[in-house]
Amino acid sequence: MERINLDNYDTDKGHNYIKFYEAFFYPYRFSTVSVLELGMHRGGSMRIWRDYFPHGKIFGVDINPVDIPDDHRIFTYQGDATNRAFLDSIYKDHNVALFDLIIDDASHMGHDARKSFEMLFRDHLAPGGLYVVEDWGTGYMPDWPDGARYGEYDVSHQQAEGLKSKLMRRKPDTPASPSAGHGAGMVGFVKSLVDHVGGPDIRAWGGDIEDWGIEYVTYTPGLVFMKKRAG
Ligand SMILES: C[S@@+](CC[C@H](N)C(=O)[O-])C[C@H]1O[C@@H](n2cnc3c(N)ncnc32)[C@H](O)[C@@H]1O
């Protein structure tokens, strides 16, 4: 099998990511896939996917202008990946309502990642498709806007997640627990997915959680792969 040679591409994706992408994406490799990546930066990953999927169409979104010369299989759009009207314009433009593979490599902020996911997974990922959230480890970075060192998630981060009122009710000298803190932000978002995988058991025992059609979730360092049920 021909492998992705990162020396040929201007991307910040490393071998630690590419080995998992190759493992998860290989079953789709020779199909006429539609791939959507949120966040293009210098366009390196657009070219990776174009070359890896010889029959694929690659759609990219970035809030900043990205200069990728015209290519009959790469289509780029400038806009905010959390904006529904903007995403809708892509589907209309290309008459593509469903993507087989969606990669979120955009802002790496919990509320953005959740918003894009909620707009795309159910309505715009094809049955049997994969959704990937990249760089979720930003949630453990102390200087990331909604991140914090593990065990040190502080009040300001929780406020950013709209948890202010909850905190107000807490005794002032109660330290924020690591699990409470990292239950929010990027890490909180990816952790919340586990409940959707547990949906059948939750509902069987009288609990209530919406069925988003997630068949399984696989976590690797920095990447989360979610498979959508085929039917
Ligand atoms: C990590 S870079 C993408 C790298 C690229 N996917 C690669 O692997 O070569 C993240 C990109 O996301 C873009 N971005 C940040 N927030 C965004 C948003 N809300 N919507 C769309 N793009 C966003 C940034 O402009 C930046 O170019």
pLDDT tens by residue, 116-145:
999 999 999 999 999 999 999 999 998 998
Specify the pLDDT at position 134: 98
Give me the mean pLDDT over the 163-187 stretch. 53
Ligand 1 atom at minimum distance from 37 CA: 6
DSSP 96: -
pTM beyond 0.85, yes or no: yes
DSSP 172: T
> Of the residues 4, 105, 138, 223, which should be mutated to test ligand 1's pocket, given the most ligand atoms within 8 Å of the CB?
105
Q: Is pLDDT at 220 greater than 90 in this prediction?
A: yes
Higher pLDDT, residue 69 or 116: 116
Q: Which two tokens stand for residue 39?
A: 């966040």
Report which of 33, 67, 27, 63 is spatially closest to residue 50, judged by C-alpha positions. Answer: 33
Tell how strand 223-228 and strand 125-134 pair up. Answer: antiparallel
Phi, psi at 55, each rounded to 5°: -110, 15
Question: Residue 5's Cα: distance from chain center in Å?
Answer: 23
Amino acid at 21: Y
Q: Which residue has the tokens 């509902």?
A: 203
Ligand 1 atom at minimum distance from 66 CA: 27
Choice among 41, 55, 72, 108 that is catalytic: 108
Specify the pLDDT at position 169: 46
Q: Is pLDDT at 180 greater than 80 in this prediction?
A: no
Q: Is 72 annotated in the active site?
A: no
CA-atom Rg of the chain in angstroms = 19
Q: Which residue has the tokens 């025992």?
A: 205
Tell how strand 74-78 and strand 57-62 pair up. Answer: parallel
The dotted CATH code for 6-138+182-228 is 3.40.50.150
> Distances from the Cα of 47 to the Cαs of 5, 71, 72, 76, 96, in angstroms?
12, 10, 12, 12, 20
Specify the pLDDT at position 176: 43
Specify the pLDDT at position 162: 52
CA of 101 to the centre of ligand 1 (A): 17
Confidence of residue 177 (pLDDT cuts 50, 70, 90): very low
Specify the pLDDT at position 124: 94
